[in-house]
Amino acid sequence: MDKYLPGAVDGSSYDKFPTVPLPPGHRLWRGAAVWERIGQEIELGARAIAVDAYPGVDMEDLTRVLAEQFPDAEIVDIEEAAAKPIGEIDAMIENNLTEDRVFGVLNHQTLEAFYDPDRLRLVAVALASSDRTTFVVGWGATLAPAHFDVIVLADMARWEIQQRQRAGAPNWRCANFDEDPIRKVKRGYFVEWRVADRHKRAIFDRVDYVLDTNVSVRDAKLITVETFAAGLAATVKRPFRVVPFFDPGVWGGQWMRDVCGLGDEPNYAWCFDCVPEENSILLEVNGESIELPALDLVFSHPRELLGEKTFARFGAEFPIRFDFLDTMGGGNLSLQVHPLTDYIQSTFGMHYTQDESYYILDAAEDAEVYLGLKTDVDPSAMEADLRNASRGEGTFDATRFVNTFPAKKHDHFSIPAGTVHCSGANSMVLEISATPYIFTFKMWDWGRVGLDGIPRPIHLDHAMRNIQWGRDSEWTSRNLAPEPVPVSSGPGWVEERTGLHELEFIEVRRHWFEGTVLHDTHGTVNVLNLVEGAEAVVESPSGEFEPFVVHYAETFIVPAQVGAYTIRPHGRSIGQRLGTVKASVRGTHA
């Protein structure tokens, strides 16, 4: 029996591979069947075929497989044929990349900027004059000004790209195989993925097939664009979960290993279970699943998913992030601060900042949170001690300058940008925050190095420009660690307002319930987590979607267009007291 699971449940019920089922009538091709399907298109007369690949797709493998499967066809690598030299591109994006290891400036170019238009036209001329079946492949294959009989989008989630880069894969058209993976991610986050997403959105209406290359090109999965569209349309009409991913870290703990049923990593630190920029969704097609970037849903159905007002405020971007920070049996997080909105806009080009909060999902008796500054702290003395520690000249005595608060299960601490903070050891944090997830200015990392043996990045200059020194002991106690406020109640349930400060745009409500609770999206996306109880069921009062069962600690999304829905105990939790936390964008209720 696992000590962390509620209700004395044996084993883990946490679903690491949630799927969205499609109704009968759709088909998925896998492996060799993918190329048989493309061969059928050729038999029907297709001569010009574009395979437009997200940067990160293994181009060598793609061209190799096509050559094996279609030995009589011509294969044109659009990147080799028409992309500008990488040195020219590097010069073009130099100001976006900066010299910093972690932070750059968001790029606003389109993919056309990386290509030579004359050479693109030459590809189109050659394609028009050829009587052979021709595959034009690579990121930007559809930029060639030609008619394509078939267009395939070879897609991939950002998290998979990062795993490959850690294993030695380079950035697009780069030779940086051995470069620091953090710098590879920076190039992706600030440049490549931004450009790639603009390009992908622009060609959605032209695509005939979507190819899932998250495993490999050789074992890829293929669906028609009709199945792709039907799957996304079905997802946005019901509650759903994205595919969580887990990552080890130097301060990581043991809670997720037990509750989420994980493998052999010694110290899982993070679980990202609602970060659609990086997570995937799994569509279930006739018993098989195909993995798609969750961003495809955000881009295709922003109004239905986010709601009109949230979309008007953020555009096609999912603004709410849920993730886990596991220090149970681990260590303190780094002492850190997040940028103010004006700073993140003017320095990095991001239009909203990383406000956040710590919801304590579980805690040992000695758990605590570092939050806010002690009253009458001398900023110059704190900065001097931090700089000495960053040079290895002693350690930083955090408790001299920073408040600590005991952290108990179901406490909720607000952390608006500019607040010094970190979670201490022996707690399990459900982090409810805004989505710009890399903008953490570490100030002190307790003298540790990363799992790669390299000191983790410290950004004191950025941090000192953003610390709000007036957030002292009294202000922090009054504003960032308040007691929950009762909002309403009914038969078998109570609703409370908990968490985020008025400076933050996220509203959080907690419901305790033994019976059925009626919820409503009120025209904006809801993100929830079952924070107490083994399982619950989410249902539509009017039968608009099939009952959706969630388990302890699972995060799920309810699209704005769902409207009314109910949550009640289910299965072994019937008769028990359960709890959910629900986040939405404040001030967007229709």
Task: Please count the structural domains in the chain.
Answer: 3
Calpha distance 304→302 (Å, rounded) = 6
Q: Is residue 6 domain-resident?
A: no
Are residue 266 and residue 415 in the same domain, yes or no? yes
Domain boundary among 440, 455, 479: 479
Q: Which 8-state DSSP code applies to residue 483? A: P
Domain boundary among 235, 259, 283: 235
Are residue 428 and residue 491 in the same domain, yes or no? no
Q: Is residue 220 domain-resident?
A: yes
Are residue 127 and residue 257 in the same domain, yes or no? no
Tell me which residue has tokens 């229709």: 590
Domain encompassing residue 62? 19-235
Are residue 121 and residue 257 in the same domain, yes or no? no
pLDDT value of position 590: 53
Are residue 337 and residue 381 in the same domain, yes or no? yes
Are residue 43 and residue 166 in the same domain, yes or no? yes
Question: At 223, which CATH number?
Answer: 3.40.50
pLDDT value of position 450: 77
Tell me which of 296 and 451 has the higher pLDDT: 296
pLDDT value of position 455: 78
For 17-45, how does the pLDDT look when each residue is reduced to its tens digit (9 = 90+)?
A: 999 999 999 999 999 999 999 999 999 99
Q: Is residue 171 domain-resident?
A: yes
Are residue 412 and residue 550 in the same domain, yes or no? no
pLDDT value of position 267: 87
Q: Is residue 7 domain-resident?
A: no
Are residue 287 and residue 413 in the same domain, yes or no? yes
Cβ neighbour number for residue 574 with a 10 Å cutoff: 14
For 48-84, how does the pLDDT look when each residue is reduced to its tens digit (9 = 90+)?
A: 999 999 999 999 999 999 999 999 999 999 999 999 9
pLDDT value of position 454: 74
Q: Is residue 12 domain-resident?
A: no
φ, ψ (nearest 5 deg) of residue 389: -65, -35
* Lowest model confidence (mean pLDDT) among 80-89, 133-142, 285-294, 450-459: 450-459
Percent of the chain with pLDDT over 90: 91
Domain boundary among 235, 258, 286: 235
For 486-528, how does the pLDDT look when each residue is reduced to its tens digit (9 = 90+)?
A: 999 999 999 999 978 899 999 999 999 999 999 999 999 999 9
Q: Which two tokens stand for residue 260?
A: 């989420």
Its pTM stands at 0.95
Are residue 465 and residue 557 in the same domain, yes or no? no
pLDDT value of position 3: 56
For 275-315, how does the pLDDT look when each residue is reduced to its tens digit (9 = 90+)?
A: 999 999 999 999 999 999 999 999 999 999 999 999 999 99
Question: At 346, which CATH number?
Answer: 2.60.120.10
Are residue 106 and residue 203 in the same domain, yes or no? yes
Which of 376, 375, 372, 393 is CA-nearest to residue 384? 393
> Per residue in 284-318, is it b (16+ CB within 10 Å) or e — as a string?
bbeeebbbbbbbbbbbbbbbbbbbbbbbebbebbb
Q: Is residue 8 domain-resident?
A: no
Q: Is residue 13 domain-resident?
A: no
Are residue 408 and residue 489 in the same domain, yes or no? no
For 466-489, how does the pLDDT look when each residue is reduced to its tens digit (9 = 90+)?
A: 999 999 999 999 999 889 999 999
Instruction: Give the pLDDT mean for 521-550.
Output: 97
Q: With 80 as the cut, is the pLDDT of residue 9 above it?
A: no
Q: With 90 as the cut, is the pLDDT of residue 588 above it?
A: no
pLDDT value of position 534: 96
Calpha distance 530→532 (Å, rounded) = 6
φ, ψ (nearest 5 deg) of residue 477: -60, -40
Q: Assign 182 a pLDDT band (cuts: 50, 70, 90).
A: very high
For 544-583, how does the pLDDT look when each residue is reduced to its tens digit (9 = 90+)?
A: 999 999 999 999 999 999 999 999 999 999 999 999 999 9
pLDDT value of position 299: 97
Q: Is residue 269 domain-resident?
A: yes
pLDDT value of position 206: 97
For 196-234, how does the pLDDT look when each residue is reduced to its tens digit (9 = 90+)?
A: 999 999 999 999 999 999 999 999 999 999 999 999 999
For the CA atoms of 470, 438, 356, 3, what is the dihedral angle to 10 degrees? -120
Are residue 78 and residue 179 in the same domain, yes or no? yes
